[in-house]
Amino acid sequence: MAAPESGDGNNGAARMVTLISSDNTRFEVEAAAASLSQTLQLTILDGGGGGGDGIPLPNVDSATLSKVLEYCIKHAPAAANGGAPNATAVDRAELERFDNEFVNIDQSVLYSLIMAAHNLEIEGLQSLVAKKVADMIKGKSPMEIRRTLGFPDPTPEEQAEMNAHMLEYGWAYE
């Protein structure tokens, strides 16, 4: 018995949608921001997520969702301009600064973000987190990479396998 979706009738106010995290926290956010997610875009275009309804996101917890939405809200205006060809250098620099700071986070948060960005298909965020992980790996030895990624120390068998693989591409260690 939910009230019919008022859609465009909101008198200039941006249309809002509600997203519900896995731990049942409700987030109200502009439809334009939520639409950065390819997954949500169709639902929102069909008029979902408005009024008393919400779009449940069973794979994303509230801490991660709030982080994801922070990204979407920041990037929505530029995205609305169609990749913002007319964005000023200042705007772009500001977004870049935001991005750099945005991924300056704990690894556990980073991995939740990778998952969420993947599930929600937020292209910009996906490439931002992938770049962050790549930066963390750059110039490190295989063992350091394991530690960086939080893998446990290898078993003797794994170690032997690692050593064998390291011999295969000797040029990487020049």
Partner 1 sequence: MGTASQEDRDHQHGAMEEQDLRKQLPEDTLADVPRRLAPCDLAKCRCVSKTWHNIIDDHRLLLPYLLPHKVSGIFIKFHNKSSWELFSRPSTGPIVSGWFNFLPDGAEEKSWPWPPELDHCNGLFLLDDYVCNPATRRWRCLPPRPPPLMAKEHFDDEAYLVFDPSLSLHYEVFLVPRIRSTNNKLDPGVEKSEWPPSLFTMRVFSSGTGQWENRTYVRGGEAAGTVCSTRFGVLYKHHAVYWKGELYAHSESDFVIRISLSNGKFQVIKPPEGHKLSISDGLYLGKSERGVYCAHVDDEDTLCRLSVWILKEISGRSEWILMHQSDIAPMLPYYDYCNQNYGPWILQEINCSARRKRYSNYYDNENDDEAVVQEKVEWDSDNDNGLQVEDDRGHDQLKYIDFLGFHPYKEIIFLTEVSRRGMAYHLNSSKIQLLGHTYPKGRVVGQFRPICETFPYTPCWVDELPQIH
Residues that bind partner 1 (CB under 8 A): 107-108, 111, 114-115, 117-118, 126-127, 130-131, 133-134, 137-142, 145-146, 149-152, 158, 161-162, 165-166, 168-174
Q: How far is the CB of 65 from partner 1 (least distance, A)?
A: 16
Q: Would you give the DSSP letter of residue 173?
A: G
CB of 82 to partner 1, least distance (A): 24
Closest CA to 34 of 73, 64, 82, 80: 73
Measured from the CB atom, the residue of 77 and 154 that comes closer to partner 1 is 154
Find the shortest distance in angstroms from Cβ 164 to partner 1. Answer: 9
Question: Could you write out the DSSP letters of every residue in 9-47?
Answer: GSTTSPPEEEEE-TT--EEEEEHHHHTTSHHHHHHHHTT
Q: At closest approach, how far in Å is the CB of 168 from partner 1?
A: 6
Q: How far apart are CA 63 and CA 65, in angstroms?
A: 6
Question: Tell me, what amino acid is at 6?
Answer: S
When the beta carbons of 45 and 160 are compared against partner 1, the nearer one is: 160
